[in-house]
Amino acid sequence: MRSGDVLREEEMSPEYRRMVVQMMESQAYRELAAAHMFGYGLRFVPDKWMKFMVWHIQEETEHYQAVSKMYRDFTKEEVEPRVRERLADKPVPFAESWFELAMAQFLYDRGGFWQLKEYEECSFVPYRGVIQKIVKEEAGHQDLGEKIVVELCRSGDHEDVKQALFQKWLRIGLLSFGRPGTPGNRFAIEHGLKKRDSGECMKDFIEDIRPSVRDAGLRFPRPASLKMELPDDIDWS
């Protein structure tokens, strides 16, 4: 245990508890949404990638179950009804081709990974343990989606759709971080629940994918076209 760590509910203020519950519900939503999206996309997966994708779906499902158990232990309730409600209200779109599924793997999965890393040192000890496990397991395949996207883009077979699908999934990936500069961000940072504001995570994410965007012959869109709140100082070059 470290100074500032929180282990039990009785150590929490009402605001801290609400934030912890919100974090668990949001993470459960992301994990189940990813499992559904990649599961639907199996119909488009070439044989040589089938084993990996099936394994990846299983991993996302296990991560959802880990968050679900943590939620149950903490709240004495099930997270599934809340996740199902959110999925109905804000569904993650399904990929409709192997190329689009690879783009989702590259940007949606990658965005979720960067978002998770902000909670690696979370002051709520049970959440920290679950997130550290997920981050460790996700880290092993973070570059696979981008390699497939670069290869497919270089083939020349997807020139008519590659930029539009890149913009679509870039936006979805960026949404993983939440709105920058909110009171919730500040509270979470001040109380050790996360490291930095969402805007700083977005900037790191863009820097991380920049080489592959260049190698794939893609270009970053105009920020206004993404129709979301973004930091003013992201480098879109």
Mean of the per-residue pLDDT values for the chain?
95
97 is a domain residue: yes
- Residue 150's pLDDT is 97
Boundaries of domain holding 132: 9-226
161 is a domain residue: yes
To the nearest 10 degrees (0 to 180), the angle between helices 162-175 and 98-117 is 30
83 is a domain residue: yes
- Residue 87's pLDDT is 95
Task: Dump pLDDT digits (tens) for 41-62.
Answer: 999 999 999 999 999 999 999 9
236 is a domain residue: no
The CATH number for 67's domain is 1.20.1260.10
Q: Does the structure show a pLDDT above 80 at 28?
A: yes
136 is a domain residue: yes
CA-closest candidate to residue 171, choices 220, 232, 119: 220
pTM above 0.85, yes or no: yes
- Residue 138's pLDDT is 86
231 is a domain residue: no
All residues at 6 or more sequence positions from 63 whose CB lies less than 8 Å from its CB, including other chains: 31, 134, 137
Question: What distance in Å separates the CA atoms of residue 145 and residue 54, rounded to the nearest whole number?
Answer: 15
All residues at 6 or more sequence positions from 192 whose CB lies less than 8 Å from its CB, including other chains: 4, 5, 121, 122, 123
Counting the structural domains of the chain, the total is 1
Q: Does the structure show a pLDDT above 80 at 140?
A: no
Q: What is the DSSP string of 21-89?
A: HHHHHHHHHHHHHHHHHHHHGGGG--HHHHHHHHHHHHHHHHHHHHHHHHHHHHHSS-SHHHHHHHHHH
233 is a domain residue: no
If DSSP codes are grouped into helix, strand and coil, which group holds residue 124?
strand
133 is a domain residue: yes
Q: b/e per residue, 188-223, with b = 16+ CB within 10 A?
A: beebbbbeebbbebbbebbeebeebbeebebebbee
